[in-house]
Amino acid sequence: MAQAPQAKYRKDYQSPSHTITDIDLTFELHDSATIVTAISQVKQLNESTTLELDGDGLTLKSLLVDQQQWNHFETTDSGLKITELPQQFTLTVVTEIDPQANTALEGLYKSDGAYCTQCEAEGFRRITYFLDRPDVLAKYTTTVIADKAQYPYLLSNGNRVEQGEMTEGRHWVKWHDPHPKPSYLFALVAGDFDVFRDQYQTRSGRNVALEIFVDKGNLDRANHAMVSLINSMKWDEERFGLEYDLDIYMIVAVDFFNMGAMENKGLNVFNSKFVLANDQTATDTDYLGIEAVIGHEYFHNWTGNRVTCRDWFQLSLKEGLTVFRDQEFSSDLGSRAVNRINNVRIIRGPQFAEDASPMSHPIRPEQVIEMNNFYTLTVYEKGSEVIRMYHTLLGEEGFQKGMQLYVERHDGTAATCEDFVKAMEDANGVDLSQFRLWYSQSGTPTLNVETEFDPQAQTYTLTVAQSTEATHDQKEKLPLHIPFDIELYNADGSVLELRCNGEKVSNVLDITQEKQSFVFEGVMEKPVPSLLREFSAPVKLEYDYSDEELTFLMVHARNEFARWDAGQMLLAKYIRSNVEALQSGNDVSLPASVVDAFRGVLLSEELEPAFIAEVLSLPSHNEVSGWYKTVDVDAVAQVLKALKVQLAMELTDELAAIYHSLQQTEYTIDHAAIGKRALRNTALSYLAHTEQGNQLAEQQYQRANNMTDTIAAMSAANQAQLACRETLMADYSQKWKHDGLVMDKWFALQGSNPAENVLDVIKQTMQHEAFSLKNPNRTRSLIGSFLNANPVHFHAIDGSGYRFAGEILRELNSVNPQVASRLIDPLLKLGKYDQTRQGLIKIELEKLRAMDNLAKDLFEKVTKALES
Those residues with Cβ within 8 angstroms of residue 715's Cβ, 6 or more apart along the chain or in another chain:
685, 749
What CA–CA distance (Å, rounded) separates 776 from 624?
28
In angstroms, give the least distance from the CB of 778 to ligand TRP.
Answer: 17
In angstroms, give the least distance from the CB of 514 to Zn ion.
Answer: 35
What CA–CA distance (Å, rounded) separates 817 from 703?
42
- With respect to ligand TRP, which residue has the nearer C-beta, 262 or 432? 262
Judged by CB under 6 A, which of 181, 296, 472, 822 binds ligand TRP?
296
297 classed as catalytic: yes
Of the residues 122, 297, 370, 385, which is catalytic? 297
Partner interacting with residue 640 (select from ligand TRP, Zn ion, none; CB below 5-8 Å by kind): none
What CA–CA distance (Å, rounded) separates 572 from 625?
11
Show the site string, 303-322: x = touches ligand TRP by CB under 6 A, - = not: ----------------x---
Show the site string, 367-396: x = touches ligand TRP by CB under 6 A, - = not: -----x--x---------------------
DSSP letter at 665 equals: S
- With respect to ligand TRP, which residue has the nearer C-beta, 375 or 786? 375
What CA–CA distance (Å, rounded) separates 734 from 754?
22
Candidates 44-52, 117-125, 824-832, 839-847 — which segment interacts with ligand TRP by CB under 6 A?
117-125
For 27-60, the DSSP string reads EE--SS-EEEEEEEEEEE-SS---EEEE-SS-EE
Binding to ligand TRP (CB under 6 A): which residues in 182-241?
Answer: none
- With respect to Zn ion, which residue has the nearer C-beta, 292 or 424? 292
Partner interacting with residue 416 (select from Zn ion, ligand TRP, none; CB below 5-8 Å by kind): none
What CA–CA distance (Å, rounded) separates 482 from 537?
6
SS3 for 737?
coil
Binding to ligand TRP (CB under 6 A): which residues in 246-275?
Answer: 258-259, 261-263
In angstroms, give the least distance from the CB of 105 to ligand TRP.
Answer: 8
- With respect to Zn ion, which residue has the nearer C-beta, 298 or 686? 298
| 108 and 127 Cβ atoms separated by less than 8 Å | yes
Candidates 62-70, 316-324, 702-710, 736-744 — which segment interacts with Zn ion by CB under 5 A?
316-324
Candidates 2-10, 92-100, 313-321, 838-846 — which segment interacts with Zn ion by CB under 5 A?
313-321
* Nearest CA-CA partner of 601 in 657, 555, 669: 555
- With respect to ligand TRP, which residue has the nearer C-beta, 298 or 435? 298
| 307 and 413 Cβ atoms separated by less than 8 Å | yes
Partner interacting with residue 372 (select from Zn ion, ligand TRP, none; CB below 5-8 Å by kind): ligand TRP
Express the helix, strand and coil content of the chain in percent, nearest 5 each. 45, 20, 35
Size of the residue set binding Zn ion (CB under 5 A)? 2
In angstroms, give the least distance from the CB of 412 to Zn ion.
Answer: 20
Partner interacting with residue 121 (select from Zn ion, ligand TRP, none; CB below 5-8 Å by kind): ligand TRP
Show the site string, 321-340: x = touches Zn ion by CB under 5 A, - = not: -x------------------
* Nearest CA-CA partner of 157 in 181, 124, 125, 133: 181
The H or E element containing residue 610 is helix 609-615
- With respect to Zn ion, which residue has the nearer C-beta, 319 or 385? 319
Find the residue with minimal CB distance to ligand TRP: 259
* Nearest CA-CA partner of 687 in 723, 726, 711, 654: 654
| 266 and 210 Cβ atoms separated by less than 8 Å | no
Q: How far is CA 406 from CA 203, 308, 399, 593, 796, in A?
A: 22, 12, 10, 52, 51
| 54 and 125 Cβ atoms separated by less than 8 Å | yes
* Nearest CA-CA partner of 368 in 6, 854, 820: 6
Residue 118 engages ligand TRP in binding (rule: CB under 6 A): yes
In angstroms, give the least distance from the CB of 219 to ligand TRP.
Answer: 25
In angstroms, give the least distance from the CB of 215 to ligand TRP.
Answer: 19
Residues at the site binding Zn ion, with contacts judged by CB under 5 A: 319, 322
Q: What is the contact surface with ligand TRP in residues (CB under 6 A)?
A: 118, 120-121, 258-259, 261-263, 296-297, 319, 372, 375
- What positions carry a catalytic annotation? 297
